[in-house]
Amino acid sequence: MTLSEAFAVFVRYFFILTPFFVVAVFIALTENETDKVRHDLAIRITAGLCVLTLLMLFCGEAIFSLFGITVEAFRVGAGALLFLSAVSLVNGKVTVPESKRSIMDLAIVPLAIPVTLGPGAIGVLFVIGSETSGLRDRLLTCLALLAAVLCVGAILYLSSELKRIIGRSGISMLSKLTGLVLAALSSQMIFSGIATFFK
């Protein structure tokens, strides 16, 4: 793998993580939080994404096979979870289960996975992992993927500044629009998973 190919992997994975969509969800979910909480949450999400990316890259297919989970089943489960988040956003509030005492508990699920690292991104990681061989290629691939994750994390970290630019009314509108998009996306994920399963 050349450096240009590694850069192509970086760009591809960066956009597959849909950073601008993710930051919209992030801002909507943390509307009433302080800058420190947002920064801490962004760091936790980034760390979780780094671990999950490497785990799915090298062990994803084996893990799914071990537990008998298909990508289709993952789509349906992830879609259901996303739909609950969508309803909360459209209603203007975030529904957090009683067992969760802090928004920090949302860092891994649902913010890291499946909002950021969804079935599409996981599928790409499966393909990249199967196509990568040799120590140098694996190292360059890991660096490219981690660089993409760190860039997404930086956007989340700077979300407070973005929120100041957009304003409260902008955040409210963005929250509801994001909820509608999430509802449509979650429904499509569920339908796609079911359709592919029956095929």
d(CA 16, CA 160): 23
- What is the rounded average pLDDT of the residues 85-99? 61
Mean pLDDT of the chain: 83
Sequence-distant (≥ 6) Cβ neighbours of residue 68 within 8 angstroms: none
Distances (CA, A) of 86 to 78, 81, 83: 12, 9, 5
Question: What percentage of the chain has pLDDT greater than the value 70?
Answer: 91
Q: Tell me, what's the pLDDT at 105?
A: 86
More confident site: 82 or 48: 48
Task: Annotate 40-94 with DSSP letters as a single string.
Answer: HHHHHHHHHHHHHHHHHHHHHHHHHHHTT--HHHHHHHHHHHHHHHHHHHHTTS-
Q: From the centroid of its chain, how far is CA 8? A: 20
Q: Tell me, what's the pLDDT at 53?
A: 95
**Domains of the chain: total:** 1
d(CA 109, CA 93): 17
More confident site: 192 or 8: 8
pTM, whole model, 2 decimals?
0.74
Q: Tell me, what's the pLDDT at 99?
A: 43
More confident site: 174 or 90: 90
pLDDT at 35 over 60: yes
| Domain around 78 | 3-198
- Dihedral sign computed on CA atoms, order 111, 112, 118, 121: positive
Sequence-distant (≥ 6) Cβ neighbours of residue 160 within 8 angstroms: 35, 38, 39
Q: Tell me, what's the pLDDT at 139?
A: 94
* pLDDT, tens digit (0-9, with 9 covering 90-100), for 129-152: 877 888 899 999 999 999 999 999
Question: What percentage of the chain has pLDDT greater than the value 90?
Answer: 26
Q: Quick one: which of 151, 162, 166, 111 has its CA closest to 14?
A: 151
